[in-house]
Structure 1
Amino acid sequence: MMSLRRGPHHKICRLLIASPKVADGRDAPRSRSSEAGYTLVALLALMTLLALFATAAAPSIRQQAQREREKETIFRGEQVADALREYYLQRSSPVRGGGIQSLPTSIDQLLEGIPVRGGTKKRQILRASAARDPLSTSGEWRLVRPRSQDLIDFQRSVMVYAGNFLPSPQPPQMAQLQQDAAPQLVNVLGGESDPPRRSGGNLSEDSSGPFVGVSSRSQNTSVVHYYGIDRHDQWIFTPLFR
C-alpha cells in the first residue's frame, strides 16, 4: 500500500482552507465602510469651509444690496424733484413766478399729471413706481415743506458740499421759488449759526399745505453719500438746488 507524501501542494491547500475570508472576499465590506467614512469626513470638511466663506461674504452682500436700494431711492427721489419742477412751472408765471401756493399739496397731484395746452388730456410727469420710497417700510415719502428746518439743514449741506456755493435753479421762476421757499445762507463754511426763519412760520411734516421736496422715512445710516450726507431721512429731493 502506497503512503501519501505531504508535498508543497498540501501547504497551499491548508492555507486556502485556513483563510476562507480572503478566498471568498468577506473582508471587502469592511474596506468599503472605511472608504465611505473617509468620504463623509471630507464632505463635512468641505461643507464647513463653504459655511465659513458664506459667513465672511454675508456682510459684503448685505452692504451691496443696501447700496442698490439707496441708488434706486436717489433715482426715484430725483424723479419726484423733476415732477415738482414741471408741476410748478405749469402753474406759475414766467415773469412773476407762482409763489409757494403753486406747489402741489400731495403726491397724488403729481401722479395725475399736468394739462396739455390746447387739449383736455393730461401729461404724465411722475411714474407710479417713483412715488414709492424703497427704503421705508411704509413705502411713503415724507413731504418736506417750504421754510422747514429740514430744508434749511439740507440747503446748508448742499452749500458745504459745493464749497460755500448754492446752485441757482433755472428757469427764473425756479430761482424765485428758491428765494420764497428757502432762507438765504451766507458763509456756511465759517460756522454760521442757524439763520432766522422767514415770516409765516415753519411748516412741519405733519401740517397740510404745499411741499417742495420729499425725503425717506428711514432713519438708518447710508452706504451711499448724497451731497455728503450719510443718513437716509436727511436726503431731500427738491428742484430748488438743481
Structure 2
Amino acid sequence: MRRAEGGYTLVALLAMMTILALFAMALAPSIQQQAQREREKESIFRGEQVADAIRAYYINRFQTLRLQGDQALPSSMDQLLEGIPVQGGAKKRQILRASAAHDPLSPNGEWRFVRPRSQALIDFQRAILFYAGNLVPTPQDRQMAQLQQLAVPMITSVLNTGTDQKSSDSSSIDDDSSGPFVGVSPRNKNKSVLTYYGIDELDQWIFTPLFRQ
C-alpha cells in the first residue's frame, strides 16, 4: 500500500514539475521582451542625453569661438565627456555622463556617429515628417535652427503612402567615416519592441538635437 502511495506521489510530483516547466517556457518570451523593452528605454534615455550634450557643445563653441556648422560640432565622444569651459573659471562643466557614452543596445557598447548631410540623417528626417504629418520640429535655439539648415537638406513633405521610404543601406553609411557628428544611433540591426518617432528598426533611431524643440 505504501509503495502504491509513493508511486502516486512521484507521478503527481512529475506532473507538477512538467506543468511548471511549461509555464516557465510560456513566460520566457514575455520576460525576454520586457528585458528588451527596458534596454530600449535606457538607450533612448542615454541617446537623448548625448543629443543634449551635442547641443551644449555646439552652442558653447558658437558663442565663445564664433564657430558654426561642422567646425562647431564634436568629432569624438571624448570631447563631450570632457565638458565645456566655464566662463571666468579654470574648470569645465560636465555635459555628458560617462554611462551615456555607451549604448546598451549595441553589441560593443559603442554608438554609431551620424554625420551632417548623411543619408541616415535624411532618412530620419523623412521618418519624422511621416510621423508628424509633414511637420518638422524646428529648434527654438537660433544656433540649432541654423545648424539644422546646414546639416540636413530640408524635405518639405512626404507622400502619405502608408509607409515611410528610406534608402536600403543608410544605417551603414557613417560607420567607417570620420569627422564631426550631429547625432548618434544604435549599432543594432534588429527590430525594436518600442518605436521612436514611429521607427521600429533600432539602427534607424537617431538621437540628435536637430529636431528637438
Question: Is the pair's TM-score, using the shorter chain for normalization, greater than 0.5?
Answer: yes
Partner of 1:62: 32
Q: 2:169: which partner in 1?
A: none
Q: Which structure has the larger Rg?
A: 1
User: What secondary structure, in the 3-state scheme, does the structure 2 residue paired with 1:117 have?
Assistant: coil
Q: Is residue 204 from structure 1 mapped to residue 178 from structure 2 by the alignment?
A: no
2:206 is equivalent to residue 236 of structure 1: yes
**How much has 1:57 moved relative to structure 2?**
1.0
Corresponding residue for residue 6 of structure 2: 36
Q: Cα offset for 1:187?
A: 1.6
Which residue does the alignment assign to 1:111?
81
Partner of 2:94: 124
For residues 4 and 182 of structure 2, the distance between their equivalents in structure 1, rounded to whole angstroms, comes to 75
Is residue 133 of structure 1 aligned with residue 103 of structure 2? Answer: yes
Provide closer, same or farther for how the CA distance between residues 46 and 193 of structure 1 changes in structure 2, counting only shifts above 3 A: closer
Is 2:199–2:205's contact at 8 Å kept on the other side of the alignment?
yes
Is the CA contact 2:138–2:211 (under 8 Å) kept in the aligned structure 1?
Answer: yes
Conserved? CA contact 2:114–2:120, under 8 Å: yes
Give 1:46's match in structure 2, choosing from 10, 13, 16: 16
Q: TM-score, normalised by structure 1?
A: 0.80
CA distance in 2, matches of 1:35, 1:193: 68
Indicate the SS of the match to 2:193: strand
| Structure 1 unmatched runs, 5+ | 1-30, 195-202
1:221 is matched by which residue type in structure 2?
K
Q: 1:167 aligns with which of 137, 140, 144?
A: 137
State which drifts further: 185-194 or 227-236.
Answer: 185-194
Q: Give, in angstroms, the shift of residue 113 of structure 1.
A: 0.5
Amino acid aligned to 1:236:
I
Q: Is 1:74 aligned to residue 44 of structure 2? A: yes
* Uncovered stretches (5+) of structure 2, i.e. residues with no partner: 167-172
User: C-alpha distance in 2, partners of 1:144/1:211?
Assistant: 5
RMSD: 1.9
Partner of 2:159, secondary structure, is: helix
Letter in 1 for 2:34: Q
Q: Secondary structure at the match of 1:61?
A: helix
Question: How far has the Cα of 1:93 moved from its partner?
Answer: 3.6
**Residue aligned with 1:214, SS:** strand
Q: Is residue 177 of structure 1 aligned with residue 147 of structure 2? A: yes
By how many angstroms is 1:163 displaced?
Answer: 0.6
- Structure 2 residue 139 is the aligned partner of structure 1 residue 149: no
TM-score under structure 2 length normalisation: 0.91
**Segments of 4+ moved more than 4 angstroms:** 190-194
Paired with 1:41 and 1:215, the residues of 2 have a C-alpha distance of 54
State the alpha-carbon separation in 2 of the partners of residues 99 and 137 from structure 1. 31
Q: Tell whether the 8 Å contact from 2:130 to 2:160 is kept in structure 1 after alignment.
A: no
Once the 2 structures are TM-superposed, how far is the Cα of residue 150 of structure 1 from its aligned partner? 0.2
Distance 2:31 2:199 in 1: 23
How many residue pairs were aligned? 203
Task: Report if aligned partners of 1:144, 1:214 keep a CA contact under 8 Å in 2.
Answer: yes
Deviations 1:68-109 (A, max 9, x none): 110110000000000000000100049x77222100000110
Structure 1 position 225 matched with structure 2 position 195: yes
Deviation for aligned residue 1:186: 1.3
Aligned twin of 1:98: 68
